[in-house]
Amino acid sequence: MASAAFSVFDRGQAAPSDALGKSRDGPVVSQATAPARSAAFHVRRAEDADLAKVIALDMEVTGVAKDAYWADLHERYATRRPGERFFFVAESADKRQILGFVIGEIRAWEFGSEPCGWVFGVSVDPEVREHGVGERLLETISAAFRDAGVGKMRTLISHGNHLLMSFFRSQGMMAGPYLQLERDLP
């Protein structure tokens, strides 16, 4: 899939006065610390060179370092079965920063489900949130799922994650027909 270029201010929003600030309640980012973050970005498939930046971004967002987990995910989702596994990154126009990523795949017949696209990870750098990066990432993986022939996209989020709930709801995702069950193992 070709990469697509977007501007973080291209959704009809006025750019903040210093062209680097946040749109809602986040901190203002100074030009000295994040010059690329006011620039356009593009979404493309993840490559080997992105792994360290993805690990760093996830560490910043979740507070947990998971190098081996990400190396494994990268190997499985960025290098194998590209027709059904998707790992996209949003990269700043100067190609110096990874602003966000989304990972998912088409899975078939598990839990009795017909083939559908599962999104199991989406994350955007806190300093560039609320400028459409997450939406573009989800649009990109939605299009990849659609192009691969499925007509449904699913994800799982925890009950308390209001930010992800707001995000996915804004993208038209609603409660589905499955109920997650679990128990502790002795």
List interacting residues with ligand COA (CB under 6 A). 61-62, 121-124, 129-135, 163-164, 166-167, 170
What's the Cα-to-Cα distance from 70 to each of 42, 51, 75, 115, rounded to whole Å? 22, 7, 8, 25
For residue 80, the minimal CB distance to ligand COA (Å) is 21
For residue 10, the minimal CB distance to ligand COA (Å) is 12
Cα 41 off chain centre by: 14
Which CB, 12 or 186, lies closer to ligand COA?
12
Q: Which amino acid is at 147?
A: D
Contact present, 108 and 117 (Cβ < 8 Å):
no
Which CB, 59 or 71, lies closer to ligand COA?
59
For residue 159, the minimal CB distance to ligand COA (Å) is 14
For residue 163, the minimal CB distance to ligand COA (Å) is 5
Using CB positions, name the residue nearest to ligand COA.
Answer: 134
Q: What does 60-125 look like in DSSP terms, one character per residue?
A: HHHS---HHHHHHHHHHHTSS-TTTEEEEEEEETTSS-EEEEEEEEEE-SGGGPPSEEEEEEEEE-
Contact present, 99 and 90 (Cβ < 8 Å):
yes
Which CB, 84 or 125, lies closer to ligand COA?
125
For residue 55, the minimal CB distance to ligand COA (Å) is 13
- Quote the DSSP letter at residue 59: H
Which CB, 65 or 149, lies closer to ligand COA?
65
Which CB, 99 or 150, lies closer to ligand COA?
99
